[in-house]
Amino acid sequence: MIKLENITKIYSNNNEQKALDDVSLQINDGEFVAIMGESGSGKSTLINIIGMMDKETAGTYLLDDVNISELNLSQREKKRRENISFIFQQFALVKRYTIYENVELPLIAKGVPSKKRKVKIMEALKALGIEDIANKYAMNTSGGQQQRAAIARAIVSDSKYILADEPTGALDSNNGEEVMKLLEDLNKSGKTVIMVTHNENLAKKAGRIINISDGKLRF
């Protein structure tokens, strides 16, 4: 379970801009939640804080009853590594790595032996139908293939929470549909999926929609 209590995020620039303002929410295990908002509404900031890619300025963040706000950097990194996987709009693949090597990264981070890594990676690639491009460099693959690779990377680490920031934003409608289907399948398999989107049609595919505007949740 993810629980945010009175989370505020202020970016220390000249304007002291509040990206999130007293946000409180709870996401239960197994949910598929869509966070919707316009550009600049704070949705990416929210998902970054949930994913521990950024730290809240104030408030409390509880992940499976562990107070993330009180953890030091290396403890937070460990928690993130064990529980959270990301899918980004621009795929976030290392272009000069092959698909295989990109998918391998989370397993390297977890210290999984190389033989076991191979098994898991090929399983994930097969599940997404991209095992034949395993040795292709990411820069030489299509957007749809790259996003599948990103999803394979999320699957392979077997994380409890999947955070997707505009996962279909850089894809055409067909590929976008396929990616959404994959996210739904992941959710059905028991993963908690949190998706950021500005697309209402995509948001409707989620079990719950959270609206955010100017850093505040709207109900």
Partner 1 sequence: MKFKDKLLMAIDNIWRRKLIFLINTILGIVAITLLAMVVHMYNRTTYTNKEINRITVLSEDEIYFLSLKTFNFKENENLINRVLDFYEEIKNIETVNWFGTYAIDDFFLDNKIEGLEEIYKKYSSVSDSMFSMYQLLPIPIAVYEDKGINRISMNIEELDITGVKTDSDISELNITDEYIEVLVGSELKEYFEKGKIYSYHQSDEKVSIKVVGYLQEDSIFYKENVLGGAPVYICLDGYMVFPEKYNYELDVYGSAITNNAMIYSHDSDIKNKIEILSHKYNINVDLNSLEGIMKDTLKENVMYQNIKLLVIFIFILTVIAYSASGIVGILTRKNEVGIFYSCGLSTQNIISTIAIENIIQLIIVYVISALFIYTKFLESNASTLSALGIEKDIFIRYDSIILLAVVFSILMVVTIFPAIILRMMPIGSMVNDN
* Interacting residues toward partner 1 by CB under 8 A: 44-45, 48, 51, 53-54, 73-74, 77-78, 80-81, 86, 88-90, 92-94, 96, 105-106, 108-111, 153, 157
Q: How far is the CB of 86 from partner 1 (least distance, A)?
A: 5
Q: How far is the CB of 152 from partner 1 (least distance, A)?
A: 12
The residue with tokens 């107070």 is 67
Cβ burial of 62 (10 Å; 0-12, 13-18, 19+) is middle
Q: How far is the CB of 154 from partner 1 (least distance, A)?
A: 10
Closer residue to partner 1 (CB): 186 or 196: 196
Closer residue to partner 1 (CB): 61 or 86: 86
Residue 146's region, left for phi above 0, alpha for psi from -120 to 50, else beta, is alpha
Closer residue to partner 1 (CB): 25 or 53: 53
Beta strands in 73-157 (DSSP E): 84-87
Closer residue to partner 1 (CB): 104 or 205: 104
* First and final C-alpha spacing in the chain: 21
Q: Answer whether 62's CB lies under 8 Å from 3's CB.
A: yes
